[in-house]
Chains A and B, each alone.
Chain A
Amino acid sequence: MMTDKEWEADADHFVLKTQLKKIVKNHSEEYASCFVNLDKVMRQLNNGHHLRAFHINFFKSEGKGLYRIGQTSVSPSMETRLYVCFNEEEKVCYILAVGGKKTQRSDIATCQKVASTLIK
């Protein structure tokens, strides 16, 4: 099921950088776990599995092409999630932001705006 071009990640459109610094400083394990789970998602995409066929608990659609990848296997002091969107044609996963539960509403709104410019 392998296809020629492999998926790549792109963080050039990352937003909420101040929030990122705080999370990295205070919740580095949760941050790392989100990226490990992102790697799991990318591997399944490279295996030819389609986004819409994904049934993984840490991977959820937030609508308008935005997805969140949660942390697992760490006792979280803050529930952390990574916001991403995908350009399936170009096989690019855009890493947009990292955030927590408290700020999720505004994080999602911000990321959805960025996602809309990347995946149309």
Chain B
Amino acid sequence: MLLNPSAAPPPTEPEVLETLGGIVARFDRRRALLVPILQAVQAQCAYLPPETMPLVGRHLGIAASEVYGVASFYNQFRFFPPGRHPIRICLGTACHVKAGDIILENFERKLGIQEGQTTADREFSLERVACVGCCALAPVAIVGETVHGHMQPSKVEGLLLQIQIAREKAQREAAAASPQAEDPSDD
């Protein structure tokens, strides 16, 4: 099942909710701090849980709808939890000229999702960005925080495979470290 942005976001995990209040309380009650507060929440939670809007609104004395109005204006803010490995494809001019859209399409095909969506297992999410300023390396894909330059359609599969292998390795190591923690219902 895909996490489609037109559907309601999934329920916020309790521990995320707990941290929200702490983040907001760090800031003065000034309207000019609205965007920095939202940025701090997203830095912590990776997205803006729906509870953010009334919480921040109360802090600053404005309507929750107004907080949502500002947040939804800017590309940076997400209202859905991204995948553990957010993949961003640059579609700046240089990347477009060097066929960045084909790279995006290849990711869409390999992951089985459209841009703006997250895979059902929450491993990957796919986004397009307007330009990351690495134009001389076009076309560019950003996986997590790592910029991959000179992308080719054939490199896509390898990149995903690499992540998967790293993940499986980590899982194996975690399982080896604590064998009793393994969930028997998982297979």
Real binding pair: no
